Amino acid sequence: MKKVQILNSEEIQQKTRRIAYQIVEDNYDESELILIGIKPNGFEYAEQLKKEIEAIDDIKVVLLELSMNKSKPLDEEIKVDLGKKSLDKKTVIVVDDVANTGKTLYYALKPIMEFFPKKVQAAVLVDRQHKLFPVSPDFVGLSLSTTLQEHIHVKFDGKGKGSAYLS
């Protein structure tokens, strides 16, 4: 199947900046935000989002990573690397690169719900709009209607650059 670029590095940066502004505007009264990036790509995207939020506002942004088996989420423990951090009474934003059916976001909420967060939101770079689970992202860079046979791949180079492809 042919691979078509849907977002280049500059477009990803532009969409990330827009999402960062939306997050700041939606959480203007917060003193701290917790970004939880779903490894691997969601965490890399959360790093970019954190930089953009901090460039816009002086709000404290804490970045955490979530590990899970995306294809079979109940086969392995879903872990958030909290350190000594608590999510109680905090605004938490779960970040991933692509939202397909909503399954990953749905199961990513499991360890977060062991706490009592003030608010939980989700941010994704690309939303495919094929929801099978009752979870939709609050902040979206690009909404794309695709067929079920098509796939979206986001690649980051580890230096803040990336691109997204439809195949």
Closest CA to 112 of 22, 12, 37, 15: 37
Tokens of 157: 């180079």
The pTM for the full model equals 0.94
Tokens of 114: 């062991």
Give residue 159's pLDDT. 76
Give residue 41's pLDDT. 94
d(CA 45, CA 125): 8
d(CA 113, CA 74): 16
Q: Write down all domains in the chain, each with its CATH number in brackets.
A: 4-166 (3.40.50.2020)
Percent of the chain surpassing pLDDT 90: 77
Tokens of 93: 């934003």
Which residue numbers in the chain have pLDDT < 50? none
Give residue 84's pLDDT. 74
For residue range 83-129, list pLDDT tens digits in order: 778 899 999 999 999 998 899 999 999 999 999 999 999 999 999 88
